[in-house]
Amino acid sequence: MGKRLPNPRLAKLHRNYTIEEVANLFGIHKNTVGNWIKQGLSVCGRKRPFLILGRDLRVFLEAKKVKNKRPCKPDEIYCVRCRSPKKPDADLIEYRTITDTLGNLVALCPDCESIMNRRISLDKLKQIPAYSNIAQSLAEIHITPCINPSVNSDFSKGKKHYAQTSS
């Protein structure tokens, strides 16, 4: 499965493309290029083979990429289910520390009640008035020593190997 939107910079500005050449250039089906033409991608002339200017192709793909963006304001978190930025309730936000300076904001969407996440630095978090009184949780320990390792573990082999290489 290809990327969601192809890289517009692959299209050369001073070159003309046929529908098949555009499809091969981006690794997509030629029907996709036909759909782009129906959506507004301009072609040269009305007769076949349709020629697409590289400049027009690049402008069309860049405009399509910008149209899909949904920028968040500082006090908003993007909800994947609703596909839009939402301002969560202050009571339903938690800051989970990852490092000393970075963490995740975890909140519930006010509309669909799904979990929303946003990575944010601790400095930026303190600058946003809506998030100023959020309690921080301590960083979670990811790897903990185990007294009884799993039966499937190579822990004992690792000790022997380490002892042999260190001497």
Contacts with 68 (C-beta within 8 Å, 6 or more apart), sequence order? 5
Question: Residue 52: what residue type?
Answer: I
Residue position matching structure tokens 């910079």: 9
Domain ranges for the chain: 8-67, 77-137
pLDDT of residue 150: 66
pTM across the whole model:
0.53
Confidence of residue 28 (pLDDT cuts 50, 70, 90): very high
pLDDT of residue 1: 45
Mean pLDDT over 105-111 rounds to 85
pLDDT of residue 95: 82
Q: Give, for 125, the enclosing helix (H) or strand (E).
A: helix 122-127
Contact by Cβ (8 Å): 52, 41: yes
Among 54-58, 74-78, 113-117, 125-129, top mean pLDDT goes to 54-58
pLDDT of residue 107: 85
CATH number of 8-67: 1.10.10.10
Q: Which residue has the higher pLDDT, 93 or 10?
A: 10
For the stretch 29-39, pLDDT in tens is 999 999 999 99
pLDDT of residue 12: 92
**Bridge partners of 107?**
93, 116
Residue 10: name the closest of 25, 24, 27 by CA: 25
- Mean pLDDT (the chain) is 79
**C-alpha dist (Å) from residue 7 to 16, 39, 122, 125, 133:** 17, 18, 34, 33, 42
Residue position matching structure tokens 């185990």: 146
Question: Residue 29: what residue type?
Answer: H
